[in-house]
Structure 1
Amino acid sequence: MDQAMKRRRATYHIWTFTASKLISAFGAQVYTFAISFYILQLTGSATSFAMNLICSILPRTIAAPFAGYAADRWAKKTIVLTAQGAIVLSVGGLLAVSLVYGLSLPAIYITTAVISLAASFSGVSFSAAITGLVDEERIQKAMSLNQMSISIAAIGAPAVGGLLYGTVSMNLFLILFMAAEAVALVLEATMNFRLFNRKADAGESAGEGPVKEPLLQSMKAGLAYLKTQPIIMTIIWISLFINFLFGAFQVGYSYILIEKMKMASEHFGLTEGAFAVGMLLMSVCLSVRKEVKYPLLLSKWGIVTMGLIMASVALPLLVSLPYTGLFIFYASVMFAFGLVMILVNTPIQVMIQKRVDDDYKGRVFAILETMAMALMPLGTVLYGFLYDLLPAEWILMVSAAVLIAVVLTMARPSVVRKAHPELTKRRQDGPENPAPAAE
């Protein structure tokens, strides 16, 4: 296939990938909204609601290493389509149970766990396949459009779910979700996952990926590979600490606005919507601009900014604001947080896509996902306990200070220079000693 044809095919992949993710994410968000309300209305129990969250988070965290091994061992397209099909069948199974016996909590929990497992395999395989789907110059665009589709779903799905809930049956919600996942499955089936992935062509065309060793040995090989990539290891460790410390924000934000500030539910929802709008706008910006030149440096200062934003959530606890000012302040905070989060995540994801060998991409993304999610449950429980004991403002400000200190230490200038050696050269050249024109 000539290069012009490949680029046209890659363009098709970009938009098909975006459309499938938009449809799939929208369906999943509407389903999550409806099932959450259903559980709370059925039981009135926060414990039952939390159990459904655990059924969503825990299987994905446990399955991630196996998903990474599978993505490097077998054809990624087969894994993605199989996982997507499993989601359709699991929701169809829940629909059948609902029609015959009525919805029950065990059936919902099992379905949530199956969806979470399938999403882990699909997500890791898709992440590992990006460089095979699109040309290198448009990886940032593809990932930005993917994030944009998720942001659009995050904005629109709760509104659609809110309008439909109470006027239509849960069975219709299940049918809509199943239809959305089925459409995404059809779109993904038309994509060539090996378009630019020359290294894996021979293995995957025969039905095998480049990895042939047993599971445990393969995981050890993945960890050994990561040891040769100190910059990627630094990013993984930073993600672990970030997700733990941001438990202060995730728990504290809702606690402060609802419990301390007594904000109305509709206004609280609008502030969270501002977060999705910020994500959407930054995703659009990154999709049309040139690739970020120094992603680790940008992400370092972006995370520092996120720490300052997290600390600012405590400001109305120290300085009294009128209700309107309170709403505007928190909507602005969440909008800024959405902007910065995409500015941190997308360039780093592009950097990892380009630096990691195709043979190890599945395992690397699986390790990244596992590390990012590993301490989230612990952080949520710990900060929930702390907010009952200590002043919220001190928890937020101390956590923000620790976050900033961790990032400044782990992404210190020497580490950034290793990631971007051209920065040193640029500073050495300077205006008085310009680089040769050819460079």
Structure 2
Amino acid sequence: MEQAMKRRRATYHIWTFTASKLISAFGSQVYTFAISFYILQLTGSATSFAMNLICSILPRTIAAPFAGYAADRWPKKTIVLTAQGATVLAVGGLLAVSLIHGLSLPAIYTTTAIISLAATFSGVSFSAAITGLVDEARIQKAMSLNQMSISIAAIGAPAVGGLLYGTVSMSLFLILFMAAEAVALVLEATMNFRLFNRKADAGEATGEGPAKEPLLKSMKAGLAYLKTQPIIMTIIWISLFINFLFGAFQVGYSYILIEKMKMASEHFGLTEGAFAVGMLLMSVYLSVRKEVKYPLLLSKWGIVTMGLIMASVAFPLLVNLPYTGLFIFYASVMFAFGLVMILVNTPIQVMIQKRVDDDYKGRVFAILETMAMALMPLGTVLYGFLYDLLPAEWILMVSASVLIAVVLTMARPSVVRKAHPELAKSRQDGPETPEPAAE
């Protein structure tokens, strides 16, 4: 009876979590779209656009270890709700400034940094709480539905943002974001974050769990634990280099379409919507299929594919396309990118959820986020300057080539077989066979 009640409660968590992420992500996407377009149209500079990205990336990189420590020591629910509240207040502050003095870059950068800090504490705590919210058999479904909600928001929000941009005030964009975060906060307040946790959260409410040690000692314990998990360390190192190199795409895509191709805001929004459609379809597929058998192998070839897609962004810079052809090409590229990104991320996240002890989840996810983003500020600054100085097509193609080389080296066959011993073959370091799309 108790197990049946827990499963029903877990089902409620899955759908409440999905709904809260859908609402919050919609507001966030609309805000990000409007702010990005505002900065690029105000300054016309990839460097200024990159500075806003830095204000999002740098706080996350610095705060992630503290977020992991907090998630392992204090109630995750309290951290999530506090972070959501801080986001609402930060956007409210920017709204007040815009009404009194008008929007300025310093005000936008400051708000972006605060939102980023709040998102770090909320994201790490939620990641560490997944096995407490749902039963182990439905982890992939929960994470796929989470991605699906983000994708649905990403489909509608850029399209809505593109249609509204220039016709309504920036204040309305900020109000939409505030309202979405407030509704998400209310939904998350109804969830039990300790429903299924095996160990750590038993003493979490009183702060007397296994993470009671001081901050520095706690971080050292997390690193010591990771040394016993070589496959997860490999994933972390791959994330470090991949996220640095993807700065070429992150900065370059918006810069190329808005500044180089002069694409209209509504069409730019639709290309980003195509990215979200790809994410949505793959998320739906992963939510109903059985768990991926070889996640590291699948992610390896998925990242190689992402590198090829990143290089293809430069194609219209080398070959003249009519405006309609340009729109169709970039929408197709983003659709494919969305498909592959979910295929890379979700199985790896499920793998980490199941391999990491509950006592260390907060710190492990914090270290993963820190390492994944450690070089992103440098990459964003570097690529922001490079796009103002060098041909965009060469930046993209060289970065994509390095990306593919890094993944093939760090996730070489011998490493993949350590993660999945059943892949071992008689011929050492022999060829691999990627997992088929469906089993």
Normalised by the size of structure 2, how large is the TM-score?
A: 0.88
Q: Secondary structure at the residue paired with 2:217?
A: helix
For 1:35 and 1:291, the matched residues in 2 are separated by: 38
- Measured after TM superposition, the shift of residue 373 of structure 1 is 1.5
- Measured after TM superposition, the shift of residue 409 of structure 1 is 1.3
After superposition, what is the alpha-carbon deviation per residue over 1:5-38, rounded to whole angstroms, capped at 9, x for unaligned? 1111111000000000111111222233344455
Cα distance, 1:194–1:428 mapped onto 2, change above 3 Å: farther
After superposition, what is the alpha-carbon deviation per residue over 1:30-61, rounded to whole angstroms, capped at 9, x for unaligned? 23334445566777887665544433222222
Q: Secondary structure at the residue paired with 1:167?
A: coil
- Measured after TM superposition, the shift of residue 425 of structure 1 is 8.0
Cα distance, 1:134–1:94 mapped onto 2, change above 3 Å: same
After superposition, what is the alpha-carbon deviation per residue over 1:223-258, rounded to whole angstroms, capped at 9, x for unaligned? 111111100010011111111122233344345445
Identity %: 95
After superposition, what is the alpha-carbon deviation per residue over 1:143-193, rounded to whole angstroms, capped at 9, x for unaligned? 111111111212212333344455554444433322221211111111111
- Measured after TM superposition, the shift of residue 335 of structure 1 is 1.1
Whether the 8 Å CA contact 2:65–2:370 is kept in 1: the answer is yes
For 2:255 and 2:99, the matched residues in 1 are separated by: 38
Cα distance, 1:79–1:254 mapped onto 2, change above 3 Å: closer
Q: Secondary structure at the residue paired with 2:425?
A: helix
Whether the 8 Å CA contact 2:55–2:113 is kept in 1: the answer is yes
- Measured after TM superposition, the shift of residue 326 of structure 1 is 3.6
- Measured after TM superposition, the shift of residue 117 of structure 1 is 1.2
Cα distance, 1:100–1:198 mapped onto 2, change above 3 Å: same
Cα distance, 1:252–1:431 mapped onto 2, change above 3 Å: closer
- Measured after TM superposition, the shift of residue 379 of structure 1 is 1.7
Whether the 8 Å CA contact 1:75–1:208 is kept in 2: the answer is no
- Measured after TM superposition, the shift of residue 309 of structure 1 is 1.8
Mapping for residues 221-240 of structure 1, pairs under 5 Å = 221-240=221-240
After superposition, what is the alpha-carbon deviation per residue over 1:417-436, rounded to whole angstroms, capped at 9, x for unaligned? 11111223899999999999
User: Which range is displaced more, 269-278 or 127-136?
Assistant: 269-278
For 2:325 and 2:437, the matched residues in 1 are separated by: 53
User: Which range is displaced more, 65-74 or 24-33?
Assistant: 24-33
User: Which range is displaced more, 425-434 or 329-338?
Assistant: 425-434
Q: Name stretches of at least 5 consecutive residues in structure 1 with no aligned partner.
A: none
Whether the 8 Å CA contact 1:27–1:177 is kept in 2: the answer is yes
Mapping for residues 149-168 of structure 1, pairs under 5 Å = 149-168=149-168
After superposition, what is the alpha-carbon deviation per residue over 1:339-392, rounded to whole angstroms, capped at 9, x for unaligned? 101100110011111111111111111111111122122223323444455544
- Measured after TM superposition, the shift of residue 138 of structure 1 is 0.9
Normalised by the size of structure 1, how large is the TM-score?
A: 0.88
For 2:430 and 2:120, the matched residues in 1 are separated by: 47
Whether the 8 Å CA contact 2:298–2:434 is kept in 1: the answer is no
Whether the 8 Å CA contact 2:28–2:177 is kept in 1: the answer is yes
- Measured after TM superposition, the shift of residue 129 of structure 1 is 0.4
Whether the 8 Å CA contact 2:270–2:331 is kept in 1: the answer is yes
For 1:58 and 1:315, the matched residues in 2 are separated by: 31
Whether the 8 Å CA contact 2:200–2:210 is kept in 1: the answer is yes
For 2:241 and 2:235, the matched residues in 1 are separated by: 10
For 1:195 and 1:324, the matched residues in 2 are separated by: 52
How many corresponding residue pairs?
439
Cα distance, 1:46–1:242 mapped onto 2, change above 3 Å: closer
- Measured after TM superposition, the shift of residue 288 of structure 1 is 1.2
Cα distance, 1:179–1:312 mapped onto 2, change above 3 Å: closer
